[in-house]
Amino acid sequence: MLLNSDMLRLARQLRGFNQTDAAKRLGMDQSLLSRTENGVVEFRDDLAAKASAAYRLPVEFFGQRDPVYGAPVSVHPMWRRKSDVLAREMDAVVAELNLRVMHMRRLLEGAEIANTNQLPRLDIEEYQSPAAIAGLVRAHWRVPSGPLQNLTSLAEKAGIIVCHSSLHGASISGVTFAVPGMPPLIVLNSEQPGDRLRFTLAHEIGHLIMHRFPTPDMEQEANAFAVALLMPPNDIRPYFVGKKIDLSVLAALKPEWRVSMAALLMESRRQKAVSEHQYTYLWKQISARGYRLREPPELDIPIEMPEILRRVFEVHLTALGYTVMEIAKLFCVHPSELKEFYGLADEELPRPRKFTVLK
């Protein structure tokens, strides 16, 4: 088997090892491991066998020829937590993203995804503001006025693959990974509550639509896009008119608009429904009650579960007659990896019939 040094590096990063730790596990000098990962020294079969054991991956993993991509241009930090992401954590996240794209490439050879919407590409410099672009996107997707009922479903209908992951414990809310020839992938941190998942998804959609290249203002622009996509100013304004905005009003609006109380408070300020004094007072109340870290659980928004990947797996496990073991072999991973990444149990499932187009 012809071995690929890029896969040796990818496996190490996926498991969260630096080169020093990995070299000890592999019983070799760090400098030799570095040269092997960089393709300077031949990647030999005996090292592949050791790496298979150390990284808990089949030997076949190291023979894959898929391209390996670097970090995305934007990573959305986790709100209300440390903002620093360790290099080791970032390496593990990028390795996971590469693996997910590799898996998608194999899955989509047997199941076609039919999009009912398109993902527009609107250059931020050609439009007045991120809010204007958000309005155009809602119109393009034929979204009725008012709260968005299921943003994940809208994203999937536009050809975006959405999935949830622990992201190796990194302080990252979400990340977008778009590579040539594949549908864009958005991975959301599963530790977030439902309202934060929706905001993060809207933020990442904003990047896909507005940003072809990184800019100094791209994170603020994506946030502004997310706010306007989830809470169009003209649609939400009547909900603030004639009300004295307090925590009870914010709590009542949260289930309807499916955004956080904090987001609603900030929008009420933009709508000039609260004075600066009221705004500061309410923020102090939110902080004093610990709502900046965790809003009341009884107000939690139901988590929107992605459907497309689940349905693609169903096609393979039923219509195409694969078993979980066979999918693991297709992906060059152990079945336990499928359970961790996709929630697939290590069991045999029935084998009916035919190729299916997902709509």
**For residues 109-136, average pLDDT:** 90
Residue 90 is assigned to a structural domain of this protein: no
Above 90 in pLDDT, residue 125?
no
Residues 241 and 280 in one domain: yes
Report the percentage of the chain scoring pLDDT > 70.
93
The pTM of the full predicted model, rounded to 2 decimals, is: 0.91
Residue 78 is assigned to a structural domain of this protein: no
Residue at a domain's end among 192, 208, 230 = 230
Residues 136 and 224 in one domain: yes
Residues 7 and 48 in one domain: yes
Which range among 168-172, 191-195, 274-278, 295-299 shows the weakest confidence by mean pLDDT?
168-172
Above 70 in pLDDT, residue 352?
no
Above 60 in pLDDT, residue 300?
yes
Residues 134 and 246 in one domain: no
Residue 151 is assigned to a structural domain of this protein: yes
The number of folded domains in the chain is: 4
Residues 222 and 123 in one domain: yes
Q: Across the chain, where does the E strand assignment appear?
A: 75-77, 111-113, 161-165, 172-177, 185-189, 356-358
Residues 210 and 243 in one domain: no
Residues 272 and 220 in one domain: no
The CATH number assigned to the domain holding 20 equals: 1.10.260.40
Above 90 in pLDDT, residue 175?
yes
**For residues 155-167, average pLDDT:** 96
Query: For residue 155, with 0-12 CB atoms within 10 Å meaning exposed, 13-18 middle and 19 or more buried, which class applies?
Result: buried
Residues 172 and 284 in one domain: no
Residues 241 and 214 in one domain: no
Residue 75 is assigned to a structural domain of this protein: no
Residues 208 and 119 in one domain: yes
Residue 111 pLDDT: 83
**For residues 313-329, average pLDDT:** 94
Residues 226 and 242 in one domain: no
Which domain covers residue 316, as residue numbers?
A: 308-358
Residue 254 is assigned to a structural domain of this protein: yes
d(CA 189, CA 175): 9
Question: Is residue 165 within 8 Å of residue 96, measured between CB atoms?
Answer: yes
Residue type, position 240, single letter: F
d(CA 69, CA 59): 21
126's CB contacts (< 8 A; 6+ apart) are none
Residues 134 and 177 in one domain: yes
Residue 76 is assigned to a structural domain of this protein: no
